[in-house]
Structure 1
Amino acid sequence: MPTSSTAVGNAALGKLGQGAVLSFDDPDDRARWLKSRFADVRDLCLRANRWHFAMARARLSAEATAPAFGYGRQFPLPTDCLRLVEVGGVAVTPGLADYQGGSQPAFALEGGRILTDAAAPLDIRYVRRAEDVAGWDPLFAEAVACRLAFDLAEKLTQSSGKKEAALRDYQLAVREAVRVNAIETAPESTPDGAWVLARL
């Protein structure tokens, strides 16, 4: 299991038939490209799913200034927040709730803030920027390596075939990682919308 960003980067290089680097600071184009893309690829892979190892909780204080209209309070997101999952016990998921319109949603996410009428402090759950590779799920580390290989394939190999192969590897790795992640998730119910409730 990779325990460092360099190990994940070297896994990506190996998938492209490239030799390993000692560090992202090596005086080598491969290391320079890995260093320039690693954080962005990590964050986009983290944001794409609710990974258990990257979940965090926070209790937010309201800002002194309220939103201009619509909601009574606003709360700044944590600086390491990549994806909001739950706000005050309400899951951030698409569902059947009032898809024809109706009352204002319980909260809105705008400009790095949560706008809501809920009282402070506001409890949230979110996917955090997990920078410590040693704490990653091995399947997620594999997905990041595959995505890095896809990103760097053309620069390093000038081969569209290798880039396509890297994309397939990435898709398979993500599918497996998401499947295992989902198996370890407790079932969640979604709220009924007005359309369903009107027919009860």
Structure 2
Amino acid sequence: MPAPRAISQTDIVNKAQILLGQSKRFTELLDTDQKGIDYQTLWPIALRAALALHPWNFAIRRFRLNPDTVAPDFGWAYRYKLPPDCVRYLPWSRDAEQWFDGEVEGGFILTDQGSFIQIRCIVLVEDLSLWSALFADAMAYTLAMESCEGSTSKRGLYEDLSNGREDVLAKARRADALENGNRRAVRPMTASSWASARYRRNGWQG
């Protein structure tokens, strides 16, 4: 049996076309075709948006960061520059040994943790051969949503696409959890728990 064909950018664009109810299919994205130009323009925007939606296993990387030579003006003792390809920083849960208190501001992590910090990030992965099938699906939904965003005549379609993407994300959460198994707590904090930890530092118990 021949090996399955790798997913291409054109495959994802054509899936977006199907989701949008468009009959046109692309064999390649040409600069002479306005719709193809539109998709090429939207691609990097949609890619970053889709990656940031979920801590995709294939896109998570670990980094050990050294402090920047310039300290924050006030509030924190140190700052650490986020990696340039970081799409979304994933704070550790409080029960992880790598946890530290801090916040993200202007491309830096601000904290009182000195010497070094260990972090996890969702990074920009442009190599489609590394993508999971569910991420490719989420990317097609995101690309379709970007295509019809702002059009009042497509508001209902946008909501349908958003619901469809949520279904894909729910499958991705289950699939990634199965891949992770029962590994010791290294999960990222949710946005709400990160905010709670930050404000507890300043005496707010919310």
TM range (shorter): 0.7 to 0.9
Contact 1:86–1:124, Cα closer than 8 Å, also in 2: yes
Match of 1:89 among 98, 118, 130: 98
1:129 corresponds in structure 2 to 124
- State the match for 1:143 in structure 2: 138
Change (3 A) 1:110 1:162: closer
What is the aligned counterpart of 2:108 among 113, 117, 139?
113
Partner of 2:28: 23
1:67 aligns with 2:62: no
In 2, Cα distance between equivalents of 1:159 and 1:73 = 47
* Structure 1: unaligned runs, 5 residues or longer: 91-104, 195-200
Secondary structure of 1:184's counterpart equals helix
Q: Is the CA contact 1:2–1:8 (under 8 Å) kept in the aligned structure 2? A: no
Q: What is the CA distance between 1:45 and its match in structure 2?
A: 1.4
55-64 or 165-174: bigger deviation: 165-174
Q: CA deviation at 1:59?
A: 1.6
What is residue 94 of structure 1 aligned with on the other side?
Answer: none
Aligned residue type for 1:50: P
Any unmatched runs of 5+ in structure 2?
Answer: 201-206
For 2:36, what is the secondary structure of its paired residue?
helix
Report runs of 4+ in structure 1 exceeding 6 Å deviation: none
Cα deviations by residue, 1:8-47 (Å, 9 ceiling, x for unpaired): 1122113323322233334112211211111111111111
Task: Give the deviation of 1:137 after TM superposition.
Answer: 0.6
Q: Classify the secondary structure of the residue corresponding to 1:83.
A: strand
Residue 36 in 1 paired to residue 36 in 2? no
- Counterpart CA distance in 2 for 1:2 and 1:159 is 32
Distance 1:66 1:131, change over 3 A: same
Q: Please, what TM-score do these two structures have when normalized by structure 1?
A: 0.75
CA RMSD of aligned residues (A): 3.0
Between the two proteins, the alignment pairs up a number of residues equal to 178
For 1:18 and 1:26, the matched residues in 2 are separated by 20
In 1, Cα distance between equivalents of 2:154 and 2:86: 36
Task: Name the CA distance, whole Å, in 2 between partners of 1:79 and 1:17.
Answer: 36
The DSSP-based 3-state class of the residue aligned with 2:42 is: helix
Task: Please say if residues 143 and 177 of structure 1, whose CA atoms lie closer than 8 Å, have aligned partners that are also in contact.
Answer: no
Kept in 1, the 8 Å contact 2:67–2:115? The answer is: yes
